[in-house]
Amino acid sequence: MKKSLLITLLAIAVTLNSFSGQPVKTAGTVDNKPVNLTRSEFINKVMDFEKNKTEWVYKGDKPAIVDFYADWCGPCKKVAPALDELATEYAGKVYFYKINIDKEPELAGLFGVQNIPTFLIIPMKGKPTLSSGASANHEENKTRFKKLIDEVLLKQ
C-alpha cells in the first residue's frame, strides 16, 4: 500500500513538473522565438572566439541567424515579428538568436556591426556573412529572410 501511494505521488509530481508553465527551450529558441544571447552563451552555442582567434569554427548543429539589435531601434522592432514567425516556421531546422548591442558591445564589435539591425547569417559549412537593414513592411521582411533561409541556409 505504501509503495503504491509513493508511486502515485511520484507520478503526480512528475506530471505537475511537466506542466510547470516554463517555456519550451531548444538551443536556438524559447517558445519558438529567438533566444537572446550573452557573451558566454555566444561562446558556448555559436563560436568560441577566445579559443579560435583567427578561424571561424561554428559550434551549432543547425544553421543560424543572429540578429544584432537594440531596444531603442525602430527598424529592429519592425523586423522582430517576422523573425519570430520564422523561428516558429523553421523550428528544428534553423536557430534564431538575438544579441542586444547595448548589453553586448564586444560581440557587436567582434563582427564590425556599425548599423542595426544587422544579421549574422551562419551556414553549416563555410564562413558566416553579414546582412543589414529592415523594411517597414512585415511581409517584405519575412519574404527576404525566408528566401535567405531556403536558398542559403537550407539550400532548398
Catalytic residue IDs: 73, 76
Q: 107-132: buried (b, 16+ CB within 10 Å) or exposed (e) per residue?
A: bbeeeebeebbbbbbbeeeeebeeee
d(CA 72, CA 131): 20
- Other CB atoms within 10 Å distance of the CB of residue 147: 10
Among 25, 89, 94, 40, CA closest to 66: 94
Among 121, 97, 86, 104, CA closest to 30: 97
Are 43 and 50 a contacting pair, CB within 8 Å? yes
